[in-house]
Every structure is written in C-alpha cells, then in structure tokens.
Amino acid sequence: MKDILEIKNLSHAYNQGIPTIQDFSFSLKKGEIVAILGPSGIGKTTLLRIIAGLEGVTHGEVTISDKIVSNKNFLLAPEKRNLGLVVEDRALFPHLNVERNVMFGISHIKKRESLAQEYLSLFKVAELSKKYPHEISAGQQQRVALARALITNPDILLLDEPFGALDKNLKSELYTETKKIFKDKDLSVLLVTHDEEEARYFSDRIIEFRKDKIIIR
C-alpha cells in the first residue's frame, strides 16, 4: 500500500532550544489508522502540529502525498495541505451554528448545505444543525467536529485526544461508530492519545513515545 505521509529524521525544538522531538521517522499508509501513544509533554501534539503545518521543523522533512510540505527551509501553509484536524476541546466556532460550522471549510462549494446534512446524518447529529455549540453536549460537539473535519475530504485526518473529554460509555460508542466511518471511507488517520485502551481499540498500529525511546508496535 502507498505511503500517504512520510516523516524522515524529524527534529523539533521550541525557541528555548530544548528538543521536543529528535530524529523521528515514520510513515502512514493510505487507509491506515495509527495511534501515537504517550504521556503528556512528550511531544505527541507537537508532532501533530508539525504535520498540520502549524509548527516548523528544525531538522528532517515531512512528505504528504509525495510532496515535501515541511523541511528546515520550507513550510507549506496548513490551509494548503488538505488535512483534517480534531482537537480535544473540539474548537467549534462558537458564533456559528452546527450546520455553519460543518460548512466552514466548503464555503466555495455550491451544494454545501446538502453535503453538510449528509455528514451530519453520518455522525447522527442532523437534527442539531440549527443549534449552537454551547447548546449541545460534549459528545454531540465531538461528532460535529468530526463531521466538519471529514467534509473537506482530507488526505489525512489528525486527531488530538479527540475523546479525552468524554465519559467511558460515550467513548466506546463513538469509537465503534467513528472507526467504521473511517474504514468505510478508507481514510488515513493519525490519532494522538495518552489512553492505551483507546489506542489499542481504535488503531491498526501503535507508536509509543517514551521519555528515552520510541517503540513501534
């Protein structure tokens, strides 16, 4: 299967110079779900931000669909990478209702309203389309965030602790539903989590970030 994402000898340090990621290499295949597992502060989210183009790299390179998107001298803007991003706090735009949130990334498409309804139905939140983020539950917000990310038909979906704020029952319900959707759509997904159970259940492969080494399972 073809690699959709390739990371070669990646290193990153913030302004203070302390390295967050050192000489990390990895690849993600089309339709594969990979979990990056590790404790807080180990550099998992930074890795996701680098892939999204929200952070630069100090060394190495990132390739998406055979195109170099990040290296020491070049950083392709996030909006040009065709990625989806879902974060723990959902980051739904509070001034837009559910439908408008989902349509945000496809404002240039004519049939955006019907497409939005299709994705909202897929995640079982179609009846909430006119509600505002603060009027719906955390689980419903997460479904909306996933619909918003998927509607743009991204090459890779980046999930940063997406189920972190949910209770156990809601989590397992969402795991099953979303994994099925991702597999049906043959989507490449990179999940960042500190929850081993979530990583094992959700992904095809686990990469564990530890303080002194990286383990690929």
Partner 1 sequence: MRFSKIFSFWHSLPFFILLLFLSPILIILSSVFTDYSENWNHIYEYVLADYIMNSFILVSGVSMLVIIIGSLTAWLVTNYQFFGKRFFEWGLILPLAIPPYILAYTFTGLFDSNGTMNEIARSVLNLQQNEVLFPNIRNIYGAIIVFSFTLYPYVYLICRTAFLNQSRSMFEVGRTLGLSQASVFLKLALPLVRPSLIAGTMIVAMETLYDFGAVDHFAISTFTTGIFRTWYGMYDLTTAMQLASILLIFITFCLVIERTSRKNANYSTVGSNFKPTLVKKLDSFGSFLCFLACFVPIFIGFILPLFEILNWSLRFNAGFFDKQFFSISLNTIFLSILSAILCTFIAMTINFSIRYKNSPTIKSINPFLNIGYGVPGLILAVGIVQLFVFLDKNILNSLEGYFLTGSLFGLIFAYIIKSYALANTTYEAGYQKISQTIDDSARVLKSKGLNLLLRVHFPLLKTSFFTSILLVTSEVVKELPATLILRPFNFETLAVSTYIYASEERMVEAAAPATAIILIGLIPIFFISKMIRTSRIEKSE
The residues of the shown chain that bind partner 1, judged by CB under 8 A, are: 15, 49, 52-54, 77-79, 81, 83-85, 87, 89, 91, 93-96, 104-105, 145, 148-149, 152, 158
Question: Which residue lies nearer to partner 1 by CB, 62 or 149?
Answer: 149
DSSP state of 77: -
Kindly tell me which of 53 and 139 has the beta carbon lying closer to partner 1: 53
Closer residue to partner 1 in complex, CB, 120/214: 120
Cα 201 to chain centroid distance, Å, stands at 17
Report in angstroms how near the CB of residue 211 gets to partner 1 at its nearest. 26
Choose between 31 and 78: whose C-beta lies nearer to partner 1: 78
Nearer to partner 1, 89 or 127 (CB): 89
- Any alpha helices (H) in the chain, and if so which ranges? 44-52, 98-103, 112-122, 138-150, 168-184, 196-202
- Do 72 and 88 touch, CB atoms closer than 8 A? no
Query: Taking the CB of residue 159, how many other CB atoms lie within 10 A of it?
Result: 26
- Angstrom distance (rounded) from CA 53 to CA 85: 11
Q: How far is the CB of 170 from partner 1 (least distance, A)?
A: 20
User: How far is residue 215's CA from residue 207's CA, in Å, rounded to a whole number?
Assistant: 6
Report the nearest approach of partner 1 to the CB of residue 166 (Å). 17
- Give least dist CB 72 to partner 1, A: 12
Q: How far is the CB of 9 from partner 1 (least distance, A)?
A: 23
Q: Which of 127, 194, 138 is nearest to 171 (CA)?
A: 138
